[in-house]
């Protein structure tokens, strides 16, 4: 069974910053839950410093933490920890969309 996901984002100019809304849909056809993510990075691709700056996490699914890079390297890490069941933990289950937002 493959694991897969689709990510879409929107950005709105708020004057000195942009507000980003990041949608992550779990398209897996099985029991693959999503419990972490990295925004603004790809596997085996160098980070591009300065693309996202002064990131401020605003919202995430219940149980998730959004952690801006330190020092500000232009990426945002998100995770949730297991808390008894997958739904209590905030895991993004197959067919479900997780909504994240942040300013930069």
> Domain segments of the chain: what residues?
5-103
Q: Please give the residue that has the higher pLDDT: either 103 or 74.
A: 103
pLDDT band at 12 (very low <50, low <70, confident <90, very high): very high
CA dist., res. 55 & res. 71, Å (int): 11
The pLDDT value given to residue 2? 76
The pLDDT value given to residue 6? 93
pTM of the model: 0.82
Give tens-digit pLDDT for 33-59. 888 888 875 555 555 555 677 788 899
- CATH code for 5-103? 2.60.40
The pLDDT value given to residue 46? 57
Q: Please give the residue that has the higher pLDDT: either 103 or 52.
A: 103
């Amino acid at each position: 069974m493959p694991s897969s996901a689709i990510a879409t984002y929107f950005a709105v100019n708020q004057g000195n910053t942009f507000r980003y809304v990041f949608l992550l849909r779990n398209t897996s056809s099985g029991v693959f839950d999503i419990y972490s993510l990295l925004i603004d990075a790809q596997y085996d691709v160098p980070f591009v410093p300065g693309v996202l700056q002064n990131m401020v996490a605003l919202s995430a699914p219940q149980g998730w933490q959004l952690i801006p890079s330190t020092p500000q390297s232009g990426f945002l890490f998100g995770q949730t920890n297991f808390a008894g069941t997958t739904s209590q933990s905030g895991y993004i289950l197959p067919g479900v969309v997780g909504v994240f937002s942040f300013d930069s």
